[in-house]
Structure 1
Amino acid sequence: MKLRPGRQVASTVDGTRMIVVRAPGDDIVLTCGGAEMVDPAEAGTGEGGVADPGQQEGTVLGKRYTHDGLGLELLCTKPGQGTVAVDGEPLVLKEAKPLPASD
């Protein structure tokens, strides 16, 4: 799948929805719960695919998920039970940077 910033993707196994913040130039296989993510218009109710029981760690609303090797960053707009992954490698929850102390 070719991703670009601003594109929305949806899971076919649960209700997870993401927005692409940063995208690599290459085509990638983006999955949620082991099933490929699709355009929200194609996702239907979010219960059409078959989930992989080993990829059910869930997503958190409003959090960013990254893959530093590819330069991919996604923002969760609707949480679900599936784990978001690229080529089978789960994305990492992006940690907030601490603010500098104000003196």
Structure 2
Amino acid sequence: MKPGTRLKSQADDTEVMVIRTGGGTIECGGAPMAEAKPAELLPLAADFSAGTLMGKRYVDADGAYELLCVKPGKGSLSVDGIALVTKDAKPLPASD
């Protein structure tokens, strides 16, 4: 998988664009994400049902993964079962 790839959730409506990726499996709602939308959605895992927000970037603790949410949904993002968190904005320098 390379940067710019769009992935669709197999458990809800979430869609993300890959900004940076490592070697693990990107998941949403507890199910692996794919480039194609499935004919039938998989059940949403209770542990990964916090939801995603459009326009937010999601990263892992190591910084190996960065995903941009382009379509929100009910499932939350993870990599190999480890939840991703929203990336904080960098503070602007003071202009004193």
Q: TM-score by structure 2 length?
A: 0.91
Inter-partner Cα distance in structure 2 for 1:19 and 1:68: 19
1:101 aligns with 2:94: yes
Any residues of structure 2 matched to 1:20-99 within 5 Å, and which? 20-24=18-22, 26=23, 28-39=24-35, 42-44=36-38, 48-69=41-62, 71-99=64-92
TM-score normalised over the length of structure 1: 0.85
* Structure 1 portions without partners, runs of 5+: none
The 4+ residue runs of structure 1 with deviation greater than 3 A are none
- 1:72, distance to aligned residue in structure 2 (A): 0.7
Aligned length: 96
- Alignment root-mean-square deviation, CA: 1.5
Q: Note the C-alpha offset of 1:23.
A: 1.6
Q: Can you give the 5+ residue segments of structure 2 that lack an aligned partner in the other structure? A: none
> Which residue of the other structure, out of 1, 7, 10, is the alignment partner of 1:9?
7
